[in-house]
Amino acid sequence: MEPSGLNGHGSISSLLPDRAIWIGAEATDWREAIRRAGDALIASGAVTDAYTDEMIATVESLGPYIVIAPGIALAHSRPSPAVHRSGLSLVLLSNPIEFGHRTNDPVRLVIGLAAPDDAGHVDALASLAEFLMDDARRESLLEARDATTVRSLIGEFESAAAAAEAPA
- Residue 15 to residue 19: CA distance in whole angstroms: 11
Residue of 164, 51, 29 whose CA lies nearest to 105: 29
Yes or no: say if 68 and 104 are a contact pair by the CB < 8 Å rule: yes
Active site residue 121: no
How far, rounded to the nearest angstrom, does the alpha carbon of residue 56 sit from its chain's CA centroid?
15
Angle 30-98-20 from CA coordinates, rounded to 5° = 45
Q: Which of 76, 84, 101, 121 is catalytic?
A: 76
User: What is the set of active-site residues?
Assistant: 76
